[in-house]
Structure formats: C-alpha cells, structure tokens
Amino acid sequence: MQRRKFIKNSSLALAGLYLPKANRPKTGRKQEKIYGYNGMRYTLDEKWSKCDSGQYPVNDCHEMVQDKKGRILLLTNETHNNVLIYDTKGQLLDSWGHDFPGAHGLTLHDENGTEFLYITDTAKHQVYKTTMDGKILMTIDPPLDAGIYKDVKEFVPTETTIDANGDIFIADGYGAQYILHYDKNGQLQKYFGGRGEGDAHLDNAHGICWDTRREDHTLLITDRTRNCFKRFDKQGNLLEVIALPGACVCRPVIHKDHLYAAVLRSPDLNAVGTGFVTILDKDNKVVSNIGGSEPQYQDGHLQPMRQTDKIFIHPHDVCVDSDENLYVAQWASGKVYPYKLKRV
C-alpha cells in the first residue's frame, strides 16, 4: 500500500511539472499598465527614442509628423539639430537644421506627390517652406503692410495648415491671434480672428488644421486659453465651438475619424505639470484621455477633465502613425525625447 501510494504521489508531482502553458500558475511578473478608455487604449514607452543626448540633444520637443516613407520627424528648438528623423522603432535615421532657434510648428504637405515641410519660428517671427532635407524654398515675413502689426515682434506664428491648392493658413498663436491666409506664393490674401471678446475672436490660437473627417471644407483652430477648438470656414466665419473644459489643448491632429490633441495643462495655463492627451471621435465627443480622467457627459455636456496619471509633464503634440500608435512630444519637460504610446 505504501509503495502504491508513493508511486501515485510521485506521478502527480511529475504531472505538475508538465502543465500546459495556459494552465500554469501566473508568476509575479509585472504587467504593462494600459492607459485610456473606450477602445482607445495604449501602453507607454518612455524609452522609444534611441538617441544619444550628447550627440543629438533636444530642448523643447514641439511637434512631430509621419511622412509617406513611414519616417517620424521631430521638430525641436535645439539648433544643434532642429529636425530629428526616426523610424517607428525609435532608431535615428537622419538629422538636420541649425537655423531655427524658435522652431515651433511642423506641418507636412503633399504637393503633387512631393512632400514639403512648413516650419514656424517664434523667435525669428517667420514661416518657412522647406524640402524634406531642410532646404528653404520660401520665407514668409511679418505682414507689416497689412496694417494689423506695428512691429515685427508682434507676429509670433505657431502653426500652419496648407489647402489643396497650396494656399497657406498661418495661426499667429503667440502674437496678435490672427489667422492669416496666404496664396501658395506667400502673398497675403486676408485675415480673420484676432484677439478680443466673443467667440469669433481667439486667445492663444496655438494650432490649426483642415478637418478631413467632414465633407465641408472647414478649419479647426485652437483657442487654448478658453479650453476649446473652434471651427471656421475658409472665409473666416465661425461655425462651431467645441468645448473641452479643463483642457488647454495644443494643435488638433486628424487621423481617420478621430481628433487627437496634446493637453498642455489643466485646468488652465497656470497649472504646471498637469498635461495629458485627449482623443475625440468624428462627432467631436471625447472618447479617451491618456493620463487624464475618464470622459464624462451629463445632459450632453462634457464635464471638466483633469490629469490623473503623471506620465506627461507638458505634452505639446501628438503624431499618429499608420498603425495608430501615438508619439507625444513635450515642451519644458526636462528635455525628454518623445514617448511612444502603443495601441492595444
């Protein structure tokens, strides 16, 4: 009896060593934290960039885009290398640029199959059109002849967006708050907005883009101090205010049916180190916040949002790649490289 009992117990012990993987007890291995809500959820990679900071330093990481080759381009106001070009794994492919001490806005435009960049410089008070390797093709200076600026320093452009015909719309987000419409040759056509009271005016018009989610040809413009995006037609008529209480949003970024934006601070610009990322659906309803509170609506009204996870300090832009992963550039955040958020 004792021998049979020993053989039985030994067999059970050995069987335990060969449990199928699915049935094995879990180890104490720490699982990655997932951020976000409502199917727009991500894991965080703070070490995405493989750059050596001694060789390729950054100061403020302002904006990022992905070109048709799949490369990720980062704009920084570090004149050692204003543009860093990565693959999606964070390996550096190239770098260029020493002439943009106020490099701020980075817009990619496909012109008849050839891609170009538009860079705004808040220190030099200019806007540049460049090739993908940094050759300057056009410079737009402060429009003093328009009669709305008395001094060069009053024009502090933060962002551009380009129409299908090549026309350029510039957001003077740190200056007089005008939206200036130029033709493709850099000649001023008209302007609208400007600082003032009332919804048709702007305060911290930090970003601008065409809303490609809609059939009508309209612009989305940031009103960061007032916690909203505003929709205008290209003639400058206000069509809609998209309220985002608690969110000092940077530029709107459209990818397929969603709008993405970095929230620099919350609930206002005095709250240091309180940023997160917000995501809106095609109806401009907030569906997810990364590092922020779960979106809540009461009687159709969005309730104030706030930072809940301190994964960002001052996020300044979001780039969405072809696999719907996110890259987040940060301003005044200890000269950190961009973080990657992998969609799950």
pLDDT digits (tens, 9 = 90+) for 274-294: 999 999 999 999 999 999 999
Q: What was the pLDDT predicted at 143? A: 98
Q: What was the pLDDT predicted at 190? A: 97
3-state secondary structure of 231: strand
b/e burial code for range 148-169 (CB count within 10 A of at least 16 → b):
bbeeeeebbbbbbbbbeeebbb
State the average pLDDT over residues 197-216. 96
pLDDT greater than 60 at residue 328? yes
What one-letter code names the amino acid at 279? I
State the average pLDDT over residues 281-310. 98
Tell me how far apart the 2 most distant CA atoms of the chain are, in Å: 106
Supply the mean pLDDT for the chain: 93
pTM (2 d.p.): 0.91
State the average pLDDT over residues 187-200. 97
**Distance between CA atoms of 266 and 289, rounded to whole angstroms?**
12
Helices (H) and strands (E) in the chain, counts: 1, 28
Q: What was the pLDDT predicted at 31? A: 82
Tokens encoding 102: 């106020």
pLDDT greater than 70 at residue 63? yes
State the average pLDDT over residues 322-341. 98
Q: Quick: pLDDT tens for 92-143.
A: 999 999 999 999 999 999 999 999 999 999 999 999 999 999 999 999 999 9
Residues in the chain: 344
Residue 18: pLDDT band (50, 70, 90) is very low
Beta-carbon neighbour count of residue 43 at 10 Å?
A: 16
Residue 38: pLDDT band (50, 70, 90) is very high
pLDDT greater than 50 at residue 15? no
Tokens encoding 291: 């590092």
Q: What was the pLDDT predicted at 325? A: 98
**In the chain, where does DSSP find H-type helix?**
2-17
State the average pLDDT over residues 183-187. 97
**Distance between CA atoms of 159 and 148, rounded to whole angstroms?**
19
Q: What was the pLDDT predicted at 28? A: 52
Q: Quick: pLDDT tens for 223-252.
A: 999 999 999 999 999 999 999 999 999 999
pLDDT greater than 80 at residue 6? no
State the average pLDDT over residues 253-269. 98
Q: What was the pLDDT predicted at 9? A: 44
Q: What was the pLDDT predicted at 163? A: 97
State the average pLDDT over residues 30-36. 90
